[in-house]
């Protein structure tokens, strides 16, 4: 990847301020706890209670939360590598100066992965809320 190519980072370079909120220490810990709770509810709804719509909503929210977390990591890497918004990380600045192509590739991969996860979460949520109950239950393996 070209070391100075900024265009593949377009989503991160445009949305890094919004994604930076998901990379704060207190927010990351809360997101982790909420994600674990959502996955536990997903297992409870799908295996014990046999409620397909609730299981799909919990899964969609967990994946959406994971996408926000990964995009937050990409935003932090983007801002830290450029010393933006008061984020000064000597390690990130050295890594970007030593091998800018690798640094850009990592930010690119994390940014697009976060957006894809968020899109999958939104699609799962919309499918859970719009699809008729009989189809949701059969998709969740509930008879």
Q: Encode pLDDT of 85-132 as tens digits.
A: 777 778 888 888 888 878 888 888 999 999 999 999 999 999 888 888
Angle among Cα 130, 32, 9 to the nearest 5 degrees reads: 75
Q: Is residue 113 situated within a structural domain? A: yes
Under a CB-based contact definition with an 8 Å cutoff, are residues 63 and 117 in contact? yes
Give the pLDDT score at 143: 64
Tokens found for residue 61: 């929210």
**3-state SS assignment for residue 1:** coil
Q: Shortest CA distance to 97 belongs to which of 110, 76, 111, 83? A: 83
Q: Is residue 119 situated within a structural domain? A: yes
Q: Is residue 40 situated within a structural domain? A: yes
Q: Is residue 8 situated within a structural domain? A: no
Whether residue 141 is predicted with pLDDT greater than 70 in this model: the reply is: no
Whats the size of the chain, residue-wise? Answer: 143
Q: Provide the b/e sequence for 22-37 (b: ≥16 CB within 10 Å).
A: bbeeeeeeebeeebee
Percent of the chain exceeding pLDDT 70 equals: 92
pTM check: above 0.85 = no
Whether residue 5 is predicted with pLDDT greater than 70 in this model: the reply is: no
Q: Encode pLDDT of 82-94 as tens digits.
A: 888 777 778 888 8
Whether residue 1 is predicted with pLDDT greater than 60 in this model: the reply is: no
Domain that holds residue 58: 15-139
φ and ψ at 63, to 5 degrees? Answer: -70, -40
Under a CB-based contact definition with an 8 Å cutoff, are residues 107 and 74 in contact? yes
Number of compact structural domains in the chain: 1
Whether residue 72 is predicted with pLDDT greater than 80 in this model: the reply is: yes
């Amino acid at each position: 990847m070209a070391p100075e190519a900024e265009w593949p980072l377009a989503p991160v370079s445009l949305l890094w301020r919004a994604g930076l909120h998901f990379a704060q220490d207190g927010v990351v810990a809360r997101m982790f706890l909420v994600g674990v709770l959502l996955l536990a509810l997903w297992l409870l709804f799908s295996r014990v209670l046999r409620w397909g719509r609730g299981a799909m909503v919990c899964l969609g929210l967990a994946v959406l939360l994971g996408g926000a977390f990964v995009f937050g990591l990409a935003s932090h890497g983007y801002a830290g590598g450029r010393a933006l918004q008061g984020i000064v990380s000597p390690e990130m600045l050295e890594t970007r100066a030593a091998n800018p192509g690798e640094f850009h590739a990592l930010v690119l991969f994390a940014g697009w992965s976060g957006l894809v996860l968020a899109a999958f979460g939104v699609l799962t949520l919309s499918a859970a809320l719009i699809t008729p109950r009989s189809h949701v239950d059969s998709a969740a393996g509930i008879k």
